[in-house]
């Protein structure tokens, strides 16, 4: 009888300890479920997602990155099939999606400020405005034509740049290529300190590697700057307030995000690149927690 009573009490104590530990764990761990982060193919999105996967798994989370279209990422957070989305540009680019789903997810804090798209030249070029390109066309010839180096046909920045060429009456060719080909041309010109103009956007790793500047756009055809926000399900602030606090502390400038994207691009795998960047920026990362 005494033995049974003693064992029974030991079991009660053990059960109580287990329950108290479970209460202390994040909801995602309690439910033994993965934290699902929706991602898309944008370089900054891939870089940030892999960084957060490493940081959160080091804190006991089981993180799954799920790549899909941008529309599916936003709808996934809205219908609770995803927990988090890392990137919504506002007030302009993401407005249609925000208006569609704003009642079904939580717009959390901005983590990157002053996004930009436009025409970019090396800092050593004596030119400051898109309007000035007309007077420098002769120095920007490629295969016999004054040229702006662009990326893939169909990309939003290419369509806007076509409008820029027309509105400013530049008389220049927009060369369709790819991000890799455009950056190779920039790298070659930069190393020779030759003039070149490319289509670029922020965030992009190029700004952490080269001394570049946007050309002023007096007609505002490329639009105004934006901020990048992250999103969560409506329930996450209640079920895991610590996670929400950590991610709302997240903030990166051009140099930090550019170097992260560059590290991920240069590594054999995104995970290796993100881990190396974390190791090199531990003080910044620790400040978020």
Distance (Å, rounded) from C-alpha 287 to C-alpha 259?
18
The 10s digit of each residue's pLDDT in 259-276 is 999 999 999 999 999 999
Q: Class assignment of domain 30-114+225-287?
A: alpha beta
Read off the pLDDT of each residue in 184-210 and give the average, rounded to a whole number: 95
Give residue 42's pLDDT band: very low, low, confident or very high (50, 70, 90): confident
> Which residue has better confidence, 249 or 96?
249
> Which residue has better confidence, 82 or 14?
82
What pLDDT is recorded for position 58?
A: 96
Give residue 11's pLDDT band: very low, low, confident or very high (50, 70, 90): very low
> Does residue 19 register a pLDDT over 70?
no
Q: What is the DSSP string of 205-260?
A: THHHHS-EEEPB-TT-TT---EEEEEEEESSHHHH-HHHHHHHHH--B-HHHHHHH
Q: Which residues share a beta bridge with 64?
A: 36
What pLDDT is recorded for position 92?
A: 83
The 10s digit of each residue's pLDDT in 120-163 is 999 999 999 999 999 999 999 999 999 999 998 877 899 999 99
What pLDDT is recorded for position 23?
A: 40
> Does residue 224 register a pLDDT over 90?
no
The reply to whether 116-214 shares the fold of 30-114+225-287 is yes
> Does residue 214 register a pLDDT over 70?
yes
Give residue 32's pLDDT band: very low, low, confident or very high (50, 70, 90): very low
Average predicted confidence (pLDDT) for the chain: 89
Closest to 160 in 3D by CA, of 212, 215, 119:
119
In the chain, DSSP finds a helix count (H) and a strand count (E) of 13, 10
Q: Is the pTM of this model over 0.85?
A: no
Give domain limits for the chain: 30-114+225-287, 116-214
Read off the pLDDT of each residue in 41-55 and give the average, rounded to a whole number: 95
- Tell me which residue has tokens 């700004």: 207
CA atoms within 13 A on the CB side of 75: 5
> Does residue 24 register a pLDDT over 50?
no
- CATH architecture of the domain formed by 116-214: 3-Layer(aba) Sandwich (3.40)
What pLDDT is recorded for position 33?
A: 62
Closest to 93 in 3D by CA, of 70, 75, 72, 65:
70
Distance (Å, rounded) from C-alpha 242 to C-alpha 238?
9
What 3-state class would DSSP assign to 25?
A: coil
């Amino acid at each position: 009888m005494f033995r049974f009573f003693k064992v029974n009490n030991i079991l009660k104590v053990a059960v109580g300890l287990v329950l108290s530990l479970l209460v202390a764990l994040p909801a995602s761990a309690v439910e033994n479920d993965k934290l699902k982060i929706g991602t898309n193919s944008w370089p900054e999105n891939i870089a940030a997602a892999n960084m957060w996967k490493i940081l959160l798994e080091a804190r006991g989370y089981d993180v799954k990155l799920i790549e899909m279209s941008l529309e599916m990422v936003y709808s996934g957070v809205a219908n609770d099939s995803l927990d988090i989305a890392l990137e919504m540009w506002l007030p302009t680019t993401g407005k249609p999606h925000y208006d569609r789903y704003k009642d079904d997810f939580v717009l959390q804090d901005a983590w990157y400020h002053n996004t930009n798209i436009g025409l970019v030249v090396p800092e050593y070029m004596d030119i400051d405005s898109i309007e000035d390109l007309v007077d420098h066309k002769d120095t920007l010839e490629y295969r016999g034509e004054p040229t702006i180096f662009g990326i893939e046909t169909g990309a939003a920045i290419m369509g806007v740049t076509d409008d820029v060429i027309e509105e400013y009456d530049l008389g220049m060719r927009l060369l369709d290529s790819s991000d890799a080909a455009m950056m190779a041309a920039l790298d070659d010109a930069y190393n020779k300190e030759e003039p070149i103009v490319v289509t670029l956007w922020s965030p992009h790793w190029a700004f952490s590697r080269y001394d570049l500047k946007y050309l002023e756009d007096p007609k505002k055809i490329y639009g105004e700057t934006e901020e990048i926000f992250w999103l969560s399900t409506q329930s996450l602030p209640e079920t895991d307030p610590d996670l929400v606090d950590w991610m709302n502390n997240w903030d990166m400038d051009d140099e930090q995000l550019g170097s992260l994207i560059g590290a991920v691009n240069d590594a054999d795998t995104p995970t290796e690149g993100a881990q190396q960047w974390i190791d090199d920026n531990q003080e910044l990362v620790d400040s978020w927690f």
